[in-house]
Structure 1
Amino acid sequence: MGAVHNIPSYLTVGGFFAMGLSVFEVLAIILISAIILAGLLILNGHAGYKYGIPYSMLLRSSFGGKGSLFPGILRGVIASILWFGLQTYAGSVAISILIGKIWPSYITLGGDLSFLGLNMHSWCSFILFWMIHVFFIFGGIQSLGNLTKFIAPLIFIVFGGMSIWFTQLAGGVDSILRYEAKGVEGNRLFIMLTCISAILATWVAPILSVSDFTRYSRTFKGMFLGQLLGILTTYILFAIASISIIIGSEIAFGTPIWNILEVIEQFDFLAAIILSLLTVCLSTLSVNITGNLIPAGNQLSALFPKYLTFIKAGLLTSILGCLIMPWKLMENATSIFVFLNIIGGLLSPVIGVMVADYFLINKSQLDVAQIYHGSIKKNAVSIPAIVSILLAGMLSLAGNYVPSLSPLYSISWFTGIITAILLYISFMKISFKNH
């Protein structure tokens, strides 16, 4: 629930409507994305369930011990830092609104004084929300478990209530379904594909490190149904909530509001505002810890065990996430797509290689002792795997600089994963023939 119902997710759907897509097109995009996502989480989580190994060890089977350093840094460092920064800033905006509703003069702290693009109250909120993350780094996984149990019912209450309220303000369900899209320029099917790619890009890092969680699964049925039903149910609720809130608010107020926080500000009941903002903050906090801090802590401590414990790695991630100035990613309704295309293009090729290696090359059979202790695996570098992700990543992102390749960049998630699978299988076949 927290991984879906958070501020960047609503920003992404708001961007779809800002592009001119219709209600039914956005609904189709969300549901198709959920089906693909559930399938990939199950596929890449299979090794975690079957062998009880974390993501950092699973990488070794595909890339070799030394070879796993590169994709490990891509996911455990670069992606985690970027996502951590974005989620932390998004949550801090909610903190600012929350404190401002209780203490109005808070918004005017420091007057026009600003530093690196943020004013005084924004910095205070950012630092406060960052410090809450640090508390959970030291608090451990048990404190996170208690947090997620608390968040789920709140999300049902708050976003369900917002959906009902905005549906009523808009004049009922029929009014929302009759919403006239502004229309998009270009091929609609391709534009929908770019939107599906954007949603999947928001999950590319969790897909990679899902075995960090599935290794605790007791049965395959539990792992399979837990992820399938969890993702599909949550995304169906998210589709209903996001569409009714975003379109309902536009119909009610006469202007499109793509940021869920601006929608909450329209409430005229203080208790509802406080509860909604707390829920948004907590859900954002939850996904930031599970999707960024925990994988970064595991990966960095695995890469540099002599220097970094899990806690030190988490702290390093949280500090670097502040230094990238993540507020630049939320400047308008579509700026987040640039970020998502880059993330998708960088990391989706790693997913492609991992899935292809585990299912197509190794037929889901791994030698765990060799992965952990074998000198060959520890020192190995899989040239086919490394070359595949480099070439696929370059092709995915080249469209940002080469106009003729821009369509591939627009669907960078698909470009990266499909290209990597094809390249890796081809390289491995050549390698087998040579031996």
Structure 2
Amino acid sequence: MSLADPAEATGISPFVPDPRLTNADLAPAGSRKWKVFDLFAMWMSDVHNLGNYTFAAGLLVLGMNAWQIFTALLVGFVVIYAGMNLMGRVGQRHGVPFPVVSRISFGVWGANIPALIRAVIAIMWYGIQTYLASVAVNVMLLAAAPGLVSWTHHSFLGLDALGWASFLTLWVLQALIIGQGMESVRKFQDFCGPAIWLVMIALAVWVLAKAGWSISLTSTPHPVPRGEQFRQWFGAIGLILATYGTLMLNFCDFSRFAPDQRTVRRGNFWGLPINSTAFVIVSVVVTAGSIEVFGEAITDPALLVAKVGNTWVLVLGALTFAIATMGVNIVANFVSPAYDLANVWPQKITFKIGGMISTVAALLVTPWNLYSNPNVVNYFLGGLGAFLGPLFGVIMVDYYWVKRGRVDVDALFDGRPGSRYYYRKGVNPRALWAFLPSAAVAAVLALVPYFGDVAPYSWFIGTAAAAALYAALGRAERAQALPTALAEV
């Protein structure tokens, strides 16, 4: 007797995924090649960037000393580690990316709401990060070859010729890597994460040597009262949570390729509380060393490298910052919109096409003009960013508390009325009722100057509010799921 499809043998029609909801990229992952080192290297690529360096160094200037910065960000990274494990378990267990995971709580069509919010934020920051890296490269190119200053005399659409050359070079390199798919992303992360560490350690050794191997870790260039130090300490934790809340939301995009949950936890452990905290230490030590050597806190590593005065060091620095930006951009700002846009129209948009749409959009918005406009960065991107915490709260409570981790993966690709995740016209109204008011509160706290003291905690407050609201609204569904859960024990 030949082997046959069990459904065919019983006369039952096999399940056929709705083409409006699936393609090869959105379907559960078949190949699971991401090991502990791949996830560890991914975190190195995401953490080792100009933004995180400047963030940690800036805390020293604000009045915190090195030990306070170290402990605050260690606590923050431990919390982030726990959140990444929660989302990572969902992706690894079911093998689907973030927009498909969102269907569990928001509905098969309602999932486009969190997916598109995440996509817009990622596309904007993709362009901005590429621009910031091009600026760092320009600083070092001008220091190495002063004759290039003639390229800065004329501008087009707000950017001079040197700026265009650097930006487009980084933009094309990223597009080439991205166009090869997730396997190419994995291989790139494995290379660039460790490479950046080597350069950062070399920079730290150079600064320490210039400072006579004596740097104070308990002083700060701008001392503040003890009460203000405590406020800054908790504020640093809140801000680092908000920073990584973007990737915490869609970490399942990566964990879906891991062979087991132990791999996800170990990769996250070495990449977050261990590696990320170590990078903070190096960033603060280098900044503290710049105070000893140059009499001022240099929080931009590109400016610090430019002070070395060696052409080859400048070239190496330019390459390093370019690689660092490509690493964080691919992890945090490319993979998500590639999947998110594919989810909107799976029949026409694949992961690669979604990625190309994202890269083109990131160029068309002229990110240098966005970045130079504080209103855009603070109110538009900041406001949208405040929505990510409530989305995380709804998705986590729905998966772990309401549905108790029991998901019908086939039903995530079923768009027929009455299917498990169809809810009401494809949208779960309870998810919207929990998300919308919580997002509004988080946005107000993040943007209105009157609430400046609690602004660093807007992500946490929005997450907690959405989680509590959805838990209250989902009690009936949870009660209905209890008999099934008990029967499976």
Task: Say whether the fold is shared (TM-score over 0.5).
Answer: yes
Q: Which residue of 2 aligns with 1:413?
A: 459
Say yes or no: does 1:95 pair with 2:146: no
Q: Which residue of 2 aligns with 1:109?
A: 151
Superposition deviation, residue 374 in structure 1: 5.6
State the alpha-carbon separation in 1 of the partners of residues 453 and 336 from structure 2: 31
State the alpha-carbon separation in 1 of the partners of residues 378 and 214 from structure 2: 29
Superposition deviation, residue 214 in structure 1: 1.0
State the alpha-carbon separation in 2 of the partners of residues 313 and 320 from structure 1: 10
Q: Secondary structure at the match of 2:179?
A: helix
Whichever residue aligns with residue 85 of structure 2, its letter is I
Q: Which residue of 1 aligns with 2:159?
A: 118
Superposition deviation, residue 173 in structure 1: 4.6
Whichever residue aligns with residue 210 of structure 2, its letter is L
Whichever residue aligns with residue 263 of structure 1, its letter is L
State the alpha-carbon separation in 1 of the partners of residues 380 and 50 from structure 2: 15
TM alignment of 1:267-306, pairs within 5 A:
267-306=308-347
Q: Secondary structure at the match of 1:217?
A: coil
Taking a change above 3 Å as real, the CA distance of residues 151 and 212 of structure 1, as seen in their structure-2 partners, is same
Taking a change above 3 Å as real, the CA distance of residues 416 and 55 of structure 1, as seen in their structure-2 partners, is same
Choose the corresponding residue for 1:194, options 235, 244, 255.
235
The 8 Å contact of residues 341 and 412 in structure 1, kept in 2 or not, is answered as no
State the alpha-carbon separation in 2 of the partners of residues 313 and 15 from structure 1: 35
Choose the corresponding residue for 1:240, options 281, 295, 316.
281
Say yes or no: does 1:381 pair with 2:427: yes
Q: Greater Rg, structure 1 or structure 2?
A: 2
Superposition deviation, residue 433 in structure 1: 8.8
Percent of matched pairs sharing the same residue: 26
Superposition deviation, residue 247 in structure 1: 1.6
Q: Which residue of 1 aligns with 2:255?
A: 214
The 8 Å contact of residues 60 and 221 in structure 2, kept in 1 or not, is answered as no
Taking a change above 3 Å as real, the CA distance of residues 278 and 339 of structure 1, as seen in their structure-2 partners, is farther
Which runs of no fewer than 5 residues in structure 2 stay unpaired? 1-43, 482-489
Note the alpha carbon deviations across 1:287-306, whole angstroms, 9 max, x for none: 21122212111110111223
The aligned length equals 432
Superposition deviation, residue 274 in structure 1: 2.1
Say yes or no: does 1:69 pair with 2:112: yes
423-432 or 300-309, larger mean C-alpha shift: 423-432
Taking a change above 3 Å as real, the CA distance of residues 374 and 368 of structure 1, as seen in their structure-2 partners, is farther
Say yes or no: does 1:426 pair with 2:472: yes
Superposition deviation, residue 114 in structure 1: 3.0
Taking a change above 3 Å as real, the CA distance of residues 286 and 227 of structure 1, as seen in their structure-2 partners, is same
Taking a change above 3 Å as real, the CA distance of residues 400 and 360 of structure 1, as seen in their structure-2 partners, is closer
Choose the corresponding residue for 2:99, options 56, 74, 97.
56
TM alignment of 1:26-175, pairs within 5 A:
26-75=69-118, 77-111=119-153, 113-175=154-216
State the alpha-carbon separation in 2 of the partners of residues 60 and 422 from structure 1: 20
State the alpha-carbon separation in 1 of the partners of residues 301 and 112 from structure 2: 38
TM-score, scaled to structure 1 = 0.90
State the alpha-carbon separation in 2 of the partners of residues 239 and 432 from structure 1: 42
Q: Secondary structure at the match of 2:46?
A: coil
Higher helix share: 1
Superposition deviation, residue 151 in structure 1: 1.7
Superposition deviation, residue 209 in structure 1: 1.3
395-404 or 226-235, larger mean C-alpha shift: 395-404
The 8 Å contact of residues 99 and 112 in structure 2, kept in 1 or not, is answered as no
Superposition deviation, residue 71 in structure 1: 0.7
Which runs of no fewer than 5 residues in structure 1 stay unpaired? none
278-287 or 176-185, larger mean C-alpha shift: 176-185
53-62 or 321-330, larger mean C-alpha shift: 321-330
Choose the corresponding residue for 2:68, options 25, 49, 63.
25
TM alignment of 1:384-395, pairs within 5 A:
384-395=430-441
Whichever residue aligns with residue 409 of structure 1, its letter is A
TM-score, scaled to structure 2 = 0.81
Taking a change above 3 Å as real, the CA distance of residues 203 and 403 of structure 1, as seen in their structure-2 partners, is closer
Q: Secondary structure at the match of 1:21?
A: coil
Taking a change above 3 Å as real, the CA distance of residues 208 and 220 of structure 1, as seen in their structure-2 partners, is same
State the alpha-carbon separation in 2 of the partners of residues 423 and 3 from structure 1: 32
Whichever residue aligns with residue 24 of structure 1, its letter is W
Note the alpha carbon deviations across 1:184-227, whole angstroms, 9 max, x for none: 79743333232222222222222111111111211221111111
Note the alpha carbon deviations across 1:244-294, whole angstroms, 9 max, x for none: 111211221112222121111111232222223212211210221122212
Q: Which residue of 1 aligns with 2:20?
A: none
